[in-house]
Amino acid sequence: MTERASIASLIPASQDIYRKIVFEIADGIIGIDDHGIIRLCNPATESIFGWQSGELLDKPLEVLLPERVHGFHQKLVANFQSGHAEARYMGQRSATIVGRRRDGAEINLGITILRTSAAGSPMMVAVIRDVSDHVRYQNDLKRLAETDSLSGLLNRRAFRANVLQSLSTADHSSMVIFDLDAFKGVNDRFGHDAGDDVITSFSEVLRSSIRATDVAGRWGGEEFVLFLPNLNAKAAIAVVERIRANFTGVDFRWNGHPVANFTVSAGLAIVTPGCADFSDMIASADKALYDAKHAGRDRLVAVEMQQEALAS
C-alpha cells in the first residue's frame, strides 16, 4: 500500500473521530460565517446557553451575548479577522467574556477563536467553556482577602486600595475615623461576645448610613474608617452625626443585664484641593479623633487639612 493510499484510508475514520469529539466534548463549539451567523453548533453549546437542539443554527451570534457588550465583542472579532494569528484566546487575564443564556442569565466564558473555512467560504470557530464557577470562586477568595471577618467591612489594606482608587476622581472629600467609646468596659462588664455584638452593630449602622460610592472599613479593634468622596464639609458633618446618632439609639440586650446604649467619637478630616494624600488624611482624622476623645468623648471634631477646626 502506498503512502497516499494509506492516508486516504484514514480520512473516513478521522472524520468519525472529529465528529465524535465535536458532539460529545463538554466544551461548546460554534462556527460562524463572515456575516456573524451561526452555521455550526454542538450540543454542549446548546446546553451552556440553554437552547434546544437545532435552535441556534442560522441565528446571529449576538443572541448569545448581552446587548451592552455587542460593540466590544464585534471589535474583538474584527481585530482578529484583520490580523495574522490563526487562533486567539478572547478576553484578558483579569477578565472573561460575558455570555447570555436564553433565559437572560449572564455567564462567564473562556473562548478560543480560530480561523478556518468550510465549502470554500471563510468560517470562524469558537471553542467555549463556561467558567462561571471558577469566576465565583476567585471572587469569593478576593472578597475574603479584603473583608474583615467580624464586621464584614473592608479590612485596612483593602480600604486603603479602594480610597486610592476613589481619590483619582474625587473632588471635595472627607476622611473619618470612628472610635467606640469605653469599649474596653464592654468586654470587661459584659464579656467578649457582647464586644463582638457592639462591633457588628456599629458596622451595620455604618453600612446602612452611607452611599454606595462611600468607602467604609474596620481600621482595627474598635476603630472604623470612612471615606466620603465628592461631598462638601457641611454634608460630610451631617453624615457623621447621623451615624453617631443612629448608633447611640441602638439598644443592646444581654441576659442578666439592663438595656445598654453606647456612644462613638469621630475625627473628620476635610480634604481640600491639593491635600488628597491618604497618609495625611488618616493622620489629620486621627488627630481630630484624639481631640474628640480628650474633650469628653461622644462627639465629633472636624478639621480641614490645614488643621483649621470647623466643628466640635
Residues recognised as catalytic: 222
* Cα atoms in the Cβ-side hemisphere of radius 13 Å centred on 143: 8
**Reduced to 3 states, what is the DSSP secondary structure of residue 159?**
helix
Which H or E element spans position 301? strand 300-304
The residues near 8 (Cβ < 8 Å, ≥ 6 apart) are none
**Reduced to 3 states, what is the DSSP secondary structure of residue 130?**
strand
The residues near 256 (Cβ < 8 Å, ≥ 6 apart) are none
Residue keyed to cell 488628597? 276
- Other Cβ atoms less than 10 A from the Cβ of 45: the count is 20
CA angle 76, 77, 83 (to 5 degrees): 90
- Burial pattern 253-277, b for ≥16 Cβ within 10 A else e, equals eeeeeeeeebebbbbbbbbeeeebe
Residue keyed to cell 471558577? 134
DSSP state of 272: P
- Burial pattern 62-83, b for ≥16 Cβ within 10 A else e, equals eebbeeebeeebeebbeebeee
